[in-house]
Structure 1
Amino acid sequence: MPMGSKRVSNPLPHRLRRGATALAAVLALAGWVAPAAAAAPVYPAAAQDPFYTAPAGLGERSDGDVLAVRPMPALAAFPNTAVWQLEFRSTNSEGRPIAAVTTVLSPPNRQPNGPLLSYQHIVNALGTRCAPSRALYTGDPDLMIREAPALNVALSRGWTVALPDHLGPTSAYGAARLGGQITLDGIRAAQRAPELGLSGSPVAMAGYSGGGMATAFAAALAPTYAPELNIVGVAQGGVPMNLGKMARALGTAPHPVFGLALAAAIGLEREYPDELPIGEQLNDRGLAMRDAIANACTNQILATGAGRSVDEVATSTGLFDSPAVQRVLDDNSVEVYPGVPTAPIFEWHSPTDALIPVDSIDATVQRYCRAGATIQSELFPSPDHLTTAVLGAPRALDYLDARFRGEPAPRNCP
C-alpha cells in the first residue's frame, strides 16, 4: 500500500455484466463462429503500483465500497485543484468481484455536498497505463488537450469531478455496459469517502463517444442498478447506440481506424472469453497485430492497424449472425437495452456522423420519449465525429449547470 493510502470498508450487494463499444463490432462483423475450445485472451501487463491490487476479501464487499483512498500530487492541467484517487469494488461480466479506480478532482471553491460530476473520458486503449488515473500523470495529450478545457469550466463552477477508469482493471476497451456500471459504482465510492465531503451531493454524468456510451448505459441502468443516487442530469454525445448496426455499416473494407476495431475486439474478448474467442480466429498477421497492441494507447493502436481490414487478419469470415456474437452486441447496445433513464438527459450528435448509426440515436430518443423521459436532443452539423464533441460541450455544461441549480429540465420530444 503506498504511503498516504488507507483501507476502508462498508458492505452492500452487487452484480455487473458486460460491455462493448462501437468500433469493437467491426471485427464481430466478420461473423466468426466460436470454435469448441476458446483461446485464452491476451490481458494487459499488471500495474506495478500496489494501489491497483485488489485486497483480500474483495468478494465480501459490495458495489461502490471504498477499498482504498490516497491523495495525489497536483496536476498542472487543473490549477489549485486537490486530487484524490479511490479504489472501489465492482464486478466483472462473469459476476466476479473486481477492484476499479476513479480519480477525483476537488476545486478550492467547492462547498460541502456541492455538485459532483462523473465525467467519462474517451479512452481508446488496451493498456491499463492509458486509463485516466495513470494517463493524467504521464502527460497524455489526448486527455490534456481534448478534455481539460471542459473539465476546468466545471471545476471553476465549484463542481467536484470524478474521472472513472471505466474500462476496468483489464482495460476491456469496448466494454460499454461494464463501463456504465463502473461509472455508477465510482459515484457511490466518491460519495462514501468521508475525505471528499460528497455524501449528500447532487450528481450529474457526462461523456462523449466511448465515454458517452458508458454514460448512456449508466443513465439507463441507474433506476434499477443504483436507485439511491440523486442524478439530476446527464449529458451524452455522439453515442454509438447499436453495435450490430454499426458493424454492418462499417463493412470489411480497409479502414484508416481499423486498429481501433481490432483493439475493441480484443477488449471485448477480455470481457466475453467464452462467447468471443477472438484469438482463435486470427491468422499470423492478426496475432502479430494483437500482440503489438495488447498494452497500447491510442496512437500506437491507430498506427498498427491503419488501412487494414478484417479479411487481412482473420482466418474465416462470413456469418455475422453468429448467436454468440449477436448476444454480446445486443447486451451492450443502448438501443436494445430495455431500461429507460429517469434523470433528465441532454443528447447531442451530428446528423451526418459517419462513424455511428444516427438512426439508432433517433430510435432510442423516441423510445425514451414515449416512455415519458425528459430528453433535450440537439443536432450540431459538423464534418466529423470529434468536432461535434467540441461544438456541443458548452451547451452540455450549461445544461448540467441548470440542473444543479434546480431549474426544470427542457424537453423537446417529437
Structure 2
Amino acid sequence: MDLRPKARLLLACTLGIVAAVLSAAPAASAGPVYPAPDPDGFYAAPDNLAGVAPGDVLRARPVANGRFPGSQVWQLLFRSTDSTGGPIAAVTTLISPGAGPRPLLSYQAFVNSLGLQCAPSHALFDGGLKEAGGLKEAGALNLLLARGWAVSVPDHLGPDSAYGAARMGGQITLDGIRAVQRFAPAGLGNSPVGLAGYSGGAMSTGFAAALAPEYAPELPIVGVAQGGLPVNPGQMAVQIGDHPHPLFGLGFAVAMGLEREYPDALQLDRALTPAGRAMRDRLANSCTDDIISAGAGHSIGEFFTSGMESEFSTVSTFHANALEEFPGIPRAPIYQWHGGNDQVPLQPALDTAGRYCAAGTPVQFDVIPGVDHAGAMFPGTMNAVRYLADRFAGLPAPSNCH
C-alpha cells in the first residue's frame, strides 16, 4: 500500500482532529481501552521495575532475521519512564553490522498504531510489517548498516501503544540508547550517538533531543536529524472543523493514545457517543491500515459531543507534548527539514528552531521548495544521512541560524 497519498494529509488528521474529539458533557467514565497484552512473555515488566535505573537492561535476546543480512540483531527490554514519571518497561531492536565500537543511530520509526503487534520490534520481522505501514521505510535501514553504523529502533509508543504521547516517546528513545550502550555484547558503550526521525518519528526524536541535557546528559549525542516536525499538535487541532475526512481514523487513534497515557486528564467516555464507543473498541488493537480503513469518510460529530477542548486538562496535555511549548533546549547540533508546501505548519517549526539557535545550538534548517509532507521525506532523508555521517566523523556542524 502506497503511503504517499496518506502522508499528504497525515498531520491534518492525526493531530488536527484531537482537540475537537476531546470534548464533552459530563457522564460516567469507564476509563481508557488498552491494547491486548502481548502474548510474548519477553515484553512483560518484572516485578522489581521501580528498583532499577532508567536505561537498565531487564532482558535481552538475539533475533534470527533475513531482512538485515550480515547483521547481528538483538531485542532489549529496558526500564524507562512514562509521562507522569512512573517506571515502565520498553523495548528496542538493535541491528548492528558487528560488535563495536561504531556509530550508533537511534531511528524513531513512523508508527501510527494502537495494537502492540504493530510496534517496530514485531513489525520489522513478522507479518505486522504490512499492517504497521509506518515501517515501510525499514528496508532503508540496510543503507545505514552498510555505512557501518549500528541502528537502534525503539518501540517509542511505549507498552500501551500510546500514539501521540511524544514526550514519553522521547524518554523511551533516550533510555533505549542507554540500554544499548550498557549491553556489553554489542560493544557500543563508547559509541557516538545520532538521532533521526520523520513526522511522527520526529516528534519522539525532537523530544529526545530537547530532554537529553536534563534527562540523559551523559549520552554522547553528536547530531540530530528531524523532518516534517509538528512542534505544536494542539495548535493545529483547533484549526480543524467537523468535516468528513479520509484519515479521520488516525485522529481518533491519537485521542485514544493520549487517553491511555493521561487517563485522569482525558476521559473520552465523557464525550463519546454510542458509535464512538463502538469505534474505540474496534480500533483498540489496530495497526495503521485498519485504523485508516475503519475511519475513512467519518467526522467528529458522529462519534463525539462538544465542549471540553478549552479546559485546562486538555490544553495542558497538548502543551506537555508540544516542542513549541517545552522549555528544554537541545545541545546537540540539529539538521531539520520541512516541505515548502507541507501541511504541517512551517512557521512554528522555524520559530522553535530559532529559539534553539538563540540559545547557542547549531541548527541547519532546510525548506525544500514546492513539496508537501510526503514529498519532503525522501530528499530530506538523503541530506540527513550525509549530515549525520559528518557528525560521526567529527566535522564541524553547519548552521544557518540568523
Counterpart of 2:106? 118
Q: Does 1:406 align with 2:385?
A: no
Distance 1:166 1:240 in 2: 17
1:319 offset after TM fit, Å? 4.3
Distance 1:255 1:22 in 2: 8
Counterpart of 2:238? 248
Q: Does 1:74 align with 2:62?
A: no
Distance change (3 Å), C-alpha of 1:210 and 1:185: same
AA of the residue aligned to 2:316: R
Task: Tell me whether 28-37 or 238-247 shows the greater mean CA deviation.
Answer: 28-37
Distance 1:243 1:91 in 2: 22
Counterpart of 2:286? 296
Whether the 8 Å contact between 1:88 and 1:99 is mirrored in structure 2 is yes
1:203 offset after TM fit, Å? 0.3
1:31 offset after TM fit, Å? 5.4
Q: Does 1:325 align with 2:314?
A: yes
Distance 2:31 2:66 in 1: 38
5 Å-filtered alignment, 1:142-157, equals 142=133, 145-149=136-140, 151-157=141-147
Q: Does 1:32 align with 2:20?
A: no
Whether the 8 Å contact between 1:64 and 1:186 is mirrored in structure 2 is yes
AA of the residue aligned to 2:43: Y
5 Å-filtered alignment, 1:5-404, equals 23-24=14-15, 26-30=17-21, 32-33=23-24, 35=26, 37-76=28-67, 78-108=68-98, 112-139=100-127, 140-141=129-130, 142=133, 145-149=136-140, 151-314=141-304, 316-354=305-343, 356-404=344-392
Whether the 8 Å contact between 2:65 and 2:125 is mirrored in structure 1 is no
Distance change (3 Å), C-alpha of 1:40 and 1:102: same
AA of the residue aligned to 1:71: P
Q: Deviations over 1:140-191 (max 9, x none)?
A: 1335642322x11210010000000000000001110000000000000000
TM-score (norm 2): 0.93
Distance 1:59 1:35 in 2: 35
Distance 1:42 1:22 in 2: 21
Task: Tell me whether 285-294 or 223-232 shows the greater mean CA deviation.
Answer: 285-294
TM-score (norm 1): 0.90
Distance 1:143 1:213 in 2: 14
Distance 2:283 2:310 in 1: 28
SS of corresponding position for 1:250: coil
Q: Unaligned 5+ residue runs, structure 1?
A: 1-19
1:98 offset after TM fit, Å? 1.0
Distance change (3 Å), C-alpha of 1:217 and 1:22: farther
Q: Deviations over 1:47-76 (max 9, x none)?
A: 111000111211101110100010001232
Whether the 8 Å contact between 2:22 and 2:268 is mirrored in structure 1 is no
1:30 offset after TM fit, Å? 4.6
Aligned residues: 389
Whether the 8 Å contact between 1:75 and 1:81 is mirrored in structure 2 is no
Counterpart of 1:13? none
1:194 offset after TM fit, Å? 0.4
AA of the residue aligned to 1:95: G
SS of corresponding position for 1:387: coil
Q: Deviations over 1:88-132 (max 9, x none)?
A: 001222332111000000114x6x221000000010100000000
Percent identity of the aligned residues? 52
1:36 offset after TM fit, Å? 7.1
1:224 offset after TM fit, Å? 0.4
1:371 offset after TM fit, Å? 1.3
Distance 1:273 1:339 in 2: 25
1:79 offset after TM fit, Å? 1.8
SS of corresponding position for 2:238: helix
Divergent runs of 4+, >6 A? none
Distance 1:393 1:185 in 2: 24
Distance 1:21 1:68 in 2: 39
Distance 1:389 1:64 in 2: 30
Task: Tell me whether 242-251 or 96-105 shows the greater mean CA deviation.
Answer: 242-251
Task: Tell me whether 325-334 or 131-140 shows the greater mean CA deviation.
Answer: 131-140
